[in-house]
Amino acid sequence: MPAFFLIVMALVAFYLGYRFYSRYLAEKVYALDPNFRTPAHEMRDGVDFVPTHKHVLLGHHFTSVAGAAPIVGPAIAVYWGWLPALTWVILGTIFAAGVHDLGSIVVSARNRGQNIGTLSGKVISARASTLFLLIIFFLLTLVNAVFGVVMAILFESNPGAVIPALIVIPIAVFIGQWAYRLGRSIIIPSIVGLLLLYIAIPIGQAYPIEVDGLASAIGLEVRTTWILLIFAYTWIASRLPVWILLQPRDYINGQQLIVALFVIFLGVLVGWDTVSAPAVNEVSADSPHWFPYLFITVACGAISGFHSLVASGTTSKQLDKEPEARFVGYGGALGEGALALAAILACTAGLGAAGEWNTAYADFGAASGGALGHFVTGTGHFLSNLGIPATLGATFAAVVVITFAGTTMDTGIRLQRYILAEISELAGFKALSGRVNLLTTLAVLIPLGLALVPGGDDAGGKGFAFGRLWTLFGTTNQLTAGLALSVIAVWVLARNRNPLAAIVPLVFLLFMTTWALLLNLVDFFQKGDWLLLAMDAAIFVLAAWLIVEAVTALNRQRGARDPAAADR
């Protein structure tokens, strides 16, 4: 089948979803009010609470939630065939992610920008808040650990991507000063910044930066050295006010997404590539079954609990007008879906002949360990259809993944600092909750320790992050999405509106994730993987308890609806 047909089908579905379903959500379910005074204005502090233009905020929100996940997840999931992966991306984006992301922004904005974990204590129960905060802590630890390893792998295998990835930092800082110190438009400088980023790609190829000498001098592996450097950077980046680096770099990355999707889709059209992978792949008996693992492997790109953390942790604090939540939240979800579509195309049509695909996806370990490489190679092929050398195109793809993952880590470490502060207050360690530098250090060291765990031969030798950690990340991520939807559903019901739009994906996700958690418990026990067994068991207990709390809250709210108590 020509790959371009899949592009048309998916984009038409996304357009219809935004045109009709998001309008229904905005008007009938969430009732967005243009006169509502958002926390960005009410609590404006110039650091976290900053009224932001909707296009800039969309750039921040999308690139913070995107990272590498909507690329890695679909790149692994096509192991089961392109049809189940694409079907879940389209339906999950329209009917689950859009509801979840938009709802998380609105509920948080209506409650002074509180994060979704804290809101669960108000909307569901006090116990729920503690349970949810602990699950969020596990999720952020996994997100930051996985993305740190992803960036290290790409820097190690694509040293030509280092200069472009680094040059975007001073460019973003300059744009932040230009926009917020001088009060000038960000559009033209960000376009210039994007052009400078692309000019840096061939420069990076000509002058690749490697850390082999540094790694040898300190007695570490190259990948380990990159991981340490990346986490050191995130400590600094997460301590800066959002307008200095995070927002302007997000805006550049948002434009980069548009360019990346355009050149990938144009490359598919010009080359008229066909999908070489089977629609449904007959996998070996010892491979994980697509049901339920497909729905935790493709998280970002269909629905992701991490989005609720960004939506309620940073995005809601920058929302200028409440109706713009539709553009930012639902629009950001569609951007994730489009990026997941590009990843599916790169790994099915971009790899070339069916024989190449069969080799690359010989088993689940090869699919997992080679996911990033398959996307980079496939994207390089699409760009070669446009006359761009495949090696240059591959570096371009690596830069896209690295810059997205870096932005997600900036946000993730910042959010983990917030969560650690709240957990310390709940535990009675009030002295710790006010020490920002110490909290930031803990927020860095905890996922760093997990990222440095050796991985052996899992996932084709790609190590712990892809061999075992990604599966637990997927289940925790989707579980968090289900729990966020439970908060949204109770909030909607309290305001005398129909919560079915949230309840349907909520039930589906909780069923799939708890099933996957149980399967993982058995798998980790059989393999003697005691670290992940303990983490999986803790997450499962917290999840089961929180599900009971959510069901109880829904039943309670059915009999006593209080619109006033739903806000503030």
Which CATH number does the domain housing residue 274 bear?
1.10.4160
- How many other CB atoms sit within 10 Å of the CB of residue 496? 10
Residue with tokens 């200069």: 163
CA pair distance 65, 339, nearest whole angstrom: 12
Contacts of 563 (CB under 8 A, 6+ apart): 494, 495, 496
> Any alpha helices (H) in 298-353, and if so which ranges?
305-313, 324-325, 331-348
How far is C-alpha 515 from the chain's CA centre? 22
Q: How many domains does the chain have?
A: 1
Encode 445-478: b = buried (16+ Cβ within 10 Å), e = exposed. ebbbebbbeebeebbbebbbbbbbbbbbbbbbbb
Q: Which domain holds residue 388?
A: 3-566
CA pair distance 74, 66, nearest whole angstrom: 13
Q: What is the pTM of this model?
A: 0.88
pLDDT tens by residue, the chain, 568 residues:
899 999 999 999 999 999 999 999 999 999 999 999 999 999 998 778 989 889 888 877 887 787 778 998 999 999 999 999 999 999 999 999 999 999 999 999 999 999 888 888 888 888 888 888 888 888 889 889 988 988 998 899 899 999 999 999 999 898 888 877 777 777 788 888 899 999 999 999 999 999 999 999 999 999 999 999 999 999 999 888 877 887 788 778 878 888 999 999 999 999 999 998 999 998 887 788 888 999 999 988 899 998 998 899 889 999 999 999 999 999 999 999 999 999 999 999 998 765 688 888 988 888 888 888 899 999 999 999 999 999 999 999 999 889 888 888 888 898 899 889 888 887 777 777 778 899 999 999 999 998 888 765 554 445 555 556 777 888 888 888 988 999 999 999 988 999 999 999 999 998 998 898 899 889 888 888 888 889 889 888 887 887 888 888 888 877 665 565 566 5
- How many other CB atoms sit within 10 Å of the CB of residue 185? 11
386 bridge partner residues: none
